[in-house]
Structure 1
Amino acid sequence: MDAGNNAIAAASFAIVVLVAAAASSLAAAVPAVYVLGDSLADVGNNNHLLTLLKADFPHNGIDYPGGKATGRFSNGKNFPDFLAENLGLATSPPYLAISSSSSANYVNGVNFASGGAGVFNSTNKDQCISFDKQIEYYSKVQASLVQSLGEAQAASHLAKSLFAITIGSNDIIGYVRSSAAAKATNPMEQFVDALIQSLTGQLQRLYDLGARRVLFLGTGPVGCCPSLRELSADRGCSGEANDASARYNAAAASLLRGMAERRAGLRYAVFDSSAALLRYIERPAAYGFAEARAACCGLGDMNAKIGCTPVSFYCANRTGYVFWDFYHPTEATARMLTAVAFDGSPPLVFPVNIRQLAAM
């Protein structure tokens, strides 16, 4: 090997060492991740439910290690996977997969997220673990940690841990799909206000149970998902849905800002996933995508009539698609969005990014 190649090899090795050291440092600062939310963050909880909202069958997971469906609504990994990787941690396991074990270990993090969940308990009722139920499950985990670690050590552990929350999309989709008569009695402003009122109590309960580092992922531009595009004659984004998302995201950010001003020790980061994802949708080629409208996996026009099932068609170039199925992003999209949330800057992630939140 010549001197030039030796220098390149040495530089590459140095970069690997630095990346590993940075991940190790973050893992020390953030001992665990506790995830709550919907299908964007579900890593297998719905596998254990009697529900139609499942992803534990092909073609889901086609690009996941081993090529097996895991319950993630994705062709591969999803946001919690990439979040954990960036923090130097293992992905937090689904609560329902470990809760029945007498030796369940909650100190390394837990994922409570459930496909279909919303801020409201009525959203996809009886088909998922509601957000309130997820918080109830977390309260059991918190009590278990107090019992095993002692109150002071458990409080310290949870204060250092990251609480990642992604919720609200299913409520908005349900609202947009509701009848004109229902919307007439429940205008959008009133609907969003009710969402925030419920979210206020839910975030307060998490704080009371020890959450101090909160990562809140706002809803994406749900009006641009293939399922809602398919409803319009021109296959354009639903302005109504995107407006609701923008209003909800802004109100949630304001809520967290107010809580942080009044609650001792609360630190937070808000990721505006709507604005971040719209960049890929509006200028796909600039971000390496070939298709930003249709789903990769599904049936019907834009693969948006039916979700990703074993009988659905799926694209060969999955890294070129923004959307995996009629609602969810591909692994490639999730990876890119996580990178922005992790190291990005305002206005996409604020007042700090994930790396900065982890170091606080």
Structure 2
Amino acid sequence: MGFVNKRFLPRSLHLFLLFDLLLNTAGGEAAKVPAIYVFGDSTADVGNNNYLPENSPKANFPHNGIDFPFSRPTGRFSNGYNAIDFFAIHMGFRRSPPPSLSLSNKTNHQIMRGLKGVNFASGGSGIALDSMGSTITMTKQIQNFAMIKSNITARIGSKTADHLLSKSIFLISTGGNDIFAYYSQMNSPNNTGEELFVTTLVSKYGDHVKELYTLGARKFGVVDVPPIGCCPYSRSFNATGGCIDKMNELALGFNNAVRALMRNLRLTLKGMKYSIGSSYEVVLSIMKNSEALGYKEIKTACCGAGKFNARTGCTPNATYCSVRHHYLFWDMLHPTHMTSKLASLAIYHGSQNFATPINFKQLVEDEV
């Protein structure tokens, strides 16, 4: 990306006064929390879908992972790391904890002592979507966590397990697929129907959070839904090539409702703490200030084919750009490694423009 003179960064992006961190982020510090537990969709998946049937959304093939260590396609929908990896790095880990379906008795000694954590996220999943076996639903992800917790408790005792879980971070990144599914089924959109959809979806989201709380979670890091109407896939269906405003309105309505939900849950669930990281605001800020941040392409995907490189996924036969950090999007839906790095920095260290009521760093450091 090169050097950017901090004096010329917009005030709305004052968090990028930490730009040196962006250029020099590295792991190796002592872990700041016992473990990270991750739930969500392809924005958070680090390989769970590799173990699912062929019709599941997958990214375990080139050109995915071209900028991952040793250019390995791991199942991440990215040319390198995703945001979960960078959050983990900020918390002192090497990268995201391993996918739950990869665990075996040989690899999970630390995990079964309540350390390091597990990533349960599954590409294609949603808050309320029934995937008919092609992905791991949020309900199933939480059931899988319950089994892990049971094993941890059996290994180290309930009191120690509860103590470690209360200090661990529970990351949730989901909702976009539910909105895509609703939008694709809308025949005659109206405000009443949209409000009912958001209300129902957020109610289910609350059920998931409360279930995790019952299982011992106390610190929740929530990543909201980005302006999905501006991703290359959405743009490819707009005759003008612009964003699909209705999709962004749905995402924004959902995000606002989740904020209200978490505020209310904080009042009723003793000891609960949370931070909501706004990928929505981060992506909008990048789009508005792309040149200052080193981006040269914010509409077209780096890897794909067709209009905006968004009519196919990033397959081995797809073309891909040579300078990935100039692109906002890696494929038709997902950000590049660099965008995820920038977003994680904003949400972890930034102001309330990008994370509220506290940022992820404060959530990590806050005592329960």
Q: Does 1:152 align with 2:159?
A: yes
What are the equivalent positions in structure 2 for 1:98-177 lying under 5 Å apart?
A: 98=103, 100-101=104-105, 104-105=108-109, 106=111, 107=114, 108-122=116-130, 124-177=131-184
**Residue in 2 aligned with 1:197?**
203
Q: Compared with structure 1, are the counterparts of its residues 84 and 350 closer, same or farther at alpha carbon in structure 2 (3 Å cutoff)?
A: same
- Report Cα offsets for 1:102-153 as digits up to 9, x if no partner: 763322200000000100132x442210011000001101111111110100
- Structure 1 CA distance, aligned partners of 2:191 and 2:278? 29
Give the alignment partner of residue 294 of structure 2, picking from 274, 288, 308: 288
Q: CA deviation at 1:292?
A: 0.3
Larger-Rg structure: 1
- Structure 1 CA distance, aligned partners of 2:192 and 2:151? 41
Give the alignment partner of residue 97 of structure 1, picking from 81, 96, 102: 102
- Structure 1 CA distance, aligned partners of 2:330 and 2:26? 30
- Structure 1 CA distance, aligned partners of 2:27 and 2:73? 32
What are the equivalent positions in structure 2 for 1:3-42 lying under 5 Å apart?
A: 23-24=29-30, 27=31, 29-42=32-45
Q: Does the aligned pair in 2 maintain the 1:121–1:132 contact within 8 Å?
A: no
Give the aligned length: 337
| Greater fraction helix | 1
Q: CA deviation at 1:191?
A: 0.7
- Structure 2 CA distance, aligned partners of 1:334 and 1:241? 21
Give the alignment partner of residue 222 of structure 1, picking from 228, 236, 256: 228
- Report Cα offsets for 1:33-78 as digits up to 9, x if no partner: 1000000110000000003400000000000000110000000011
Q: Does the aligned pair in 1 maintain the 2:348–2:359 contact within 8 Å?
A: yes
> Which structure ranks higher in relative contact order (CA pairs < 8 Å, sequence separation ≥ 6)?
2
User: When the two structures are superposed, what TM-score results if normalisation uses the length of structure 1?
Assistant: 0.90
What SS does the corresponding residue of 2:299 show, helix, strand or coil? strand
Q: CA deviation at 1:101?
A: 3.1
Q: Does the aligned pair in 2 maintain the 1:164–1:214 contact within 8 Å?
A: yes
Q: Does the aligned pair in 2 maintain the 1:275–1:348 contact within 8 Å?
A: yes
- Structure 2 CA distance, aligned partners of 1:283 and 1:230? 22
Q: Does 1:78 align with 2:82?
A: yes
Give the alignment partner of residue 56 of structure 1, picking from 53, 60, 75: 60
Q: Does the aligned pair in 1 maintain the 2:26–2:89 contact within 8 Å?
A: no
- Report Cα offsets for 1:204-230 as digits up to 9, x if no partner: 000000000100000111111100111
What SS does the corresponding residue of 1:164 show, helix, strand or coil? strand
- Structure 2 CA distance, aligned partners of 1:185 and 1:273? 24
Q: CA deviation at 1:186?
A: 7.5
**Residue in 1 aligned with 2:327?**
321
What are the equivalent positions in structure 2 for 1:321-340 lying under 5 Å apart?
A: 321-340=327-346
Q: Does the aligned pair in 1 maintain the 2:27–2:89 contact within 8 Å?
A: no
User: When the two structures are superposed, what TM-score results if normalisation uses the length of structure 2?
Assistant: 0.88
Q: Does 1:260 align with 2:266?
A: yes
- Structure 2 CA distance, aligned partners of 1:238 and 1:191? 18
Q: Does 1:344 align with 2:344?
A: no
Q: CA deviation at 1:20?
A: 8.7
- Structure 1 CA distance, aligned partners of 2:178 and 2:293? 29
- Structure 1 CA distance, aligned partners of 2:26 and 2:230? 37
Q: Compared with structure 1, are the counterparts of its residues 158 and 289 closer, same or farther at alpha carbon in structure 2 (3 Å cutoff)?
A: same
- Report Cα offsets for 1:179-198 as digits up to 9, x if no partner: 415x5697111111110111
Residue 111 of structure 1 aligns with an amino acid whose one-letter code is N
Q: How well do the aligned residues superpose, as a CA RMSD in angstroms?
A: 1.9
Q: Does 1:68 align with 2:72?
A: yes
Structure 2: which 5+ residue stretches go unaligned? 1-20
Q: Does the aligned pair in 1 maintain the 2:63–2:73 contact within 8 Å?
A: yes
What SS does the corresponding residue of 1:165 show, helix, strand or coil? strand
Q: Compared with structure 1, are the counterparts of its residues 194 and 78 closer, same or farther at alpha carbon in structure 2 (3 Å cutoff)?
A: same
Percent identity for Structure 1 against Structure 2: 38
